[in-house]
Every structure is written in C-alpha cells, then in structure tokens.
Amino acid sequence: MRRALERWPKDALRPDCQFQNVFAKRLENGSIAPPGVTFGSAAAREQAELRQANALYVLLENRFMDKVRQ
C-alpha cells in the first residue's frame, strides 16, 4: 500500500492535510482501520486491509473512468 500512497497526487487545495499522510499514519500504528473499529480475528483484519488496498489502487488507476470512456 505504501507504493500506492507514494503515487497518490498531492492535494493543492489542502496542503496541510494530505491523504497520503493520514493513511501513512494509520499504517505506522499497525492498522488501517478507522479509529474505534476492531476486527474479530486476524483473518477478518487481513481481509479488510486487502479490500482497502484494492480500493486504493482502483481509485489511483482511474479504472472506473477508463471503463466510462470506452
């Protein structure tokens, strides 16, 4: 996921609050779940992390935009 965050565009309108910084902070804390969210098992946590990583890449690569243009 760090590779995706490195490729994420900078937000010129909010230079003090970048998505990459917020998400990287969650990764450093060991969980990408929002504060207050807990998982029942390690498998559930891993599954949630994979879904979030996939969603991040879908947005980063503009997959939906590419489908609309075709």
| Within a domain: 64 | yes
Residue range of the domain that includes 53 = 38-70
* Under 8 Å between Cβ of 25 and 32: no
The answer to whether residue 53 sits within a structural domain is: yes
| Total domain count, the chain | 1
20 domain-assigned:
no
Determine the Cα–Cα distance for residues 61 and 59; give it in Å rounded to an integer: 6
Which amino acid does the sequence have at 55?
A
Phi then psi for 59, rounded to 5 degrees?
-70, -40
The answer to the question of residue 5 being in a domain is no
pLDDT, one tens digit per residue, over 8-62 is 889 999 989 998 888 888 777 776 666 667 777 888 878 888 888 888 888 888 8
Q: Which residue has the tokens 């804390």?
A: 29
The model carries a pTM of: 0.63
